[in-house]
A and B are shown apart, each in its own frame.
Chain A
Amino acid sequence: MTARKYDARLIIGLGMFGFMVAVALFAPLIARNDPLAIDLANQFVPPSADHWFGTASLGFDVFARVVYAARHDLLIAVSAVALSIAIGHPIGLLVGYVGGWGDSVTMRCLDVIQAFPALVLAIGVLSALGQGVRNLILVIGIVGVPTFVRLVRAEVRSLREHAYVEAGRAVGNSRSKILVRYIAPGTVGTVVTQAAVSCGWAILLAAALGFIGLGVPLPEPEWGAMIAEGIPEMRRGGSWWIPVFPGIAIAITVFSLSLIGESVADLVEPTRRKSR
């Protein structure tokens, strides 16, 4: 296959993700209705010209809420991944390069953290810390740290054996300079790839936490929590528009991030293309 095809995936991915970012940024221009406005006369109204995605309980406008929720979900996911990288990348660089007992201790700690299914760990820690956007970012960010530490560590361990690093050492660079100037730049590609994938994963985790009621506190709109609002209505038999639209928003966002992740991975690591 030609290289052009991968660019197409990247372009579609970036386009879709850019669209969601634009929706989040320009939410007040896109949604005419107030996402927090209560309208008791119009509860559970099916999609119409006034309410494109219908209304939920208390007459909340589902379209406005899906649009405004993009702000919360994207902010949480992007900040959480930034936090994971900010903590995980330096640790991975350091333990990968220095090795020794610091490396062993770090890896055992990661083993313990990763022994928990991420969702279980996040639910526990978040219940202890309490709800709120800041705590969500903190928890999702911390749960994501081990991935980056392992990834960067593995990369560093292979990079430090390269001839160019040895050459750098031979001309008299200090150890810290070798790490920062010679090895660290080589890890950026994998980190960027993983960042896109982790971002999608962070959105799913944020939505899952919102779904069980540990996310952004109501009445603020959040996709996962909006889907959960559909459960009681489901038992009463209807109002499909309440859970369907926020789920589609999640799927579009995560799908676009996976496309970006895959195509960037192919760019960074051309050998991967062969199996395509």
Chain B
Amino acid sequence: MLSYVTRRLAALIPILIGVTLLAFIVSHALPGDPARQYAGINASEAQVEAIRERLGLNESLPVQYCVYMIGDTCLGGSGKGGLIRGDLGESIRTGFSVAQDVGARLPATIEMVAAGMLFALLVALPLGVWAAVRKGKLLDRFCRFISTLGVAVPDFWLAMILLLIFFIVLEWLPGPVGRLPIGATPPEGPTSLYVIDSLVSGDWETFRTAVKHLILPMVAIGFPAVAPILRLTRNATLSVLNSDYIAFGRAAGLRGAPLYLKYVLRNALPGAVTMTGLIAGYMIGGAVLVERVFSWPGVGLYGFNSLVNTDYPAIQAYVLLSAVTYTVVFLAVDLVQSLIDPRVRLK
């Protein structure tokens, strides 16, 4: 097992280097001049040139990449900065360190994605088991219809429809203003997940508003995930239901909820959880559109705004973060599966 883990981790390194290279190339191929952006429209040519020099944009591209990766050693410096030292650089747009910027926005994305995946699981698991039990019946067909439809509906459109219904027509939930009403103080707490922080500190008022703001983004992010999880659960449940041990359990008098909860669902669960993990890994970077609809201050929106403003270090960090979470989640899923099923290691 250990050698398998080492092998998989070693295989990760060239992929991640490739990812940094691709992120670098793409961000530097963007039209627009970050120095001019930084200097503002009234800056003189000399000022722009000075900024360009300071940001190191006058170096050749290979040198810039080298500086990005291993710091100022490339320029004969004392060895500061660089990705290998965990330094993501400084955002040209906000002036803060990129790590700080991303760190401030990551909890928002995590809160939304986690809530969305929880929603997807809560809907898809029971429905999937139920559909398998009623195989071929109306409910099963309905579930299949829903899951085919689920992948056909764009998440950003669903987000807008939800807003139309629950914010504009019914006025039950708040509009697209982010995690809390404009001007509200976020709750103090260790996690920066507003729902959890306000709950821990017993701030019920904030808790209620935070939950209200979270509901629609949660459904919009979670709904497209329902379809694949539902299908997987249904098929896994079907094969469990046809197994000998369930036949034995039934013969021994088990039925109803204990049978489904304890024996069927437990065996159908790993697949569904794996799938949820993969989707969540994808969503950390891929939630841009839903974040945009709800003005949700997450990493996706940060990445997009950086892109619009040709903010090289910030774009690279965002792209890197998306790719790394996705790859690492993928690896984690593989490793967990190889623990459960040792045959995977032999491939």
Which residues in window 297-347 of B have CB below 8 A to A? 303-304, 307, 315, 318-319, 322-324, 326-327
- Whose C-beta in chain B lies nearest to the C-beta of A247? B157
Give every chain B residue within 8 A of A251 (Cβ-Cβ). Answer: 149, 152-154, 157
Q: What is the predominant secondary structure among interface residues of chain B facing chain A?
A: helix
| Known contacts A117-B285, A124-B315; A254/B176 CB under 8 A | no
CA distance A252 to B157 in the complex (A): 13
Contacts of B148 in A (CB 8 A): 255, 258-259, 262
**Residues in chain A near residue B269, CB distance under 8 A:** none
Are the C-beta atoms of B319 and A124 separated by less than 8 Å?
yes
Asked whether any CB of chain B lies closer than 8 Å to the CB of A125, the reply is yes
Asked if B160 lies at the interface with its beta carbon under 8 angstroms from chain A, I say yes
Asked if B15 lies at the interface with its beta carbon under 8 angstroms from chain A, I say yes
- How many CB-defined contacts (below 8 Å) exist between A and B? 137
> Is A29's CB within 8 Å of the partner chain B?
no
Please count how many residues in chain B sit with their CB below 8 Å of the partner chain's CB atoms.
49
A146 CB–B CB distance under 8 Å: no
Shortest C-beta distance, A129 to chain B (Å), equals 8
Q: Give Cα distance in the complex from A116 to B163, angstroms.
A: 29
* Number of interface residues, chain A, beta carbon within 8 A: 48
Residues of A within 8 A of B285 (CB): 116-117, 119-120
| Structural contact, A117 and B282, CB atoms closer than 8 A | yes
A112 near B157 with CB under 8 A, answer no
By a CB distance below 8 angstroms, the chain B residues around A259 are 148
> Is B175 part of the contact surface with A, judged by Cβ < 8 Å?
yes
B17: min CB distance to chain A, Å: 9
- A115 is contacted by which of B161, B235, B304, B323 (Cβ under 8 Å)? B323
> Which among A20-28, A62-70, A226-234 touches the partner chain?
A226-234
CA distance A243 to B164 in the complex (A): 10
Confirm or deny: B272 has a beta carbon within 8 angstroms of a beta carbon on chain A: no
Q: Does A39 sit within 8 A of B, measured CB to CB?
A: no
Task: Tell whether B271 is near chain A: CB-to-CB under 8 Å.
Answer: no
Which residues of B are in contact with A by a Cβ distance under 8 Å? 14-16, 18-19, 22-23, 26-27, 29-31, 136, 148-149, 151-154, 156-157, 160-161, 163-164, 168, 175-176, 235, 238-239, 282, 285-286, 288-289, 292-293, 303-304, 307, 315, 318-319, 322-324, 326-327
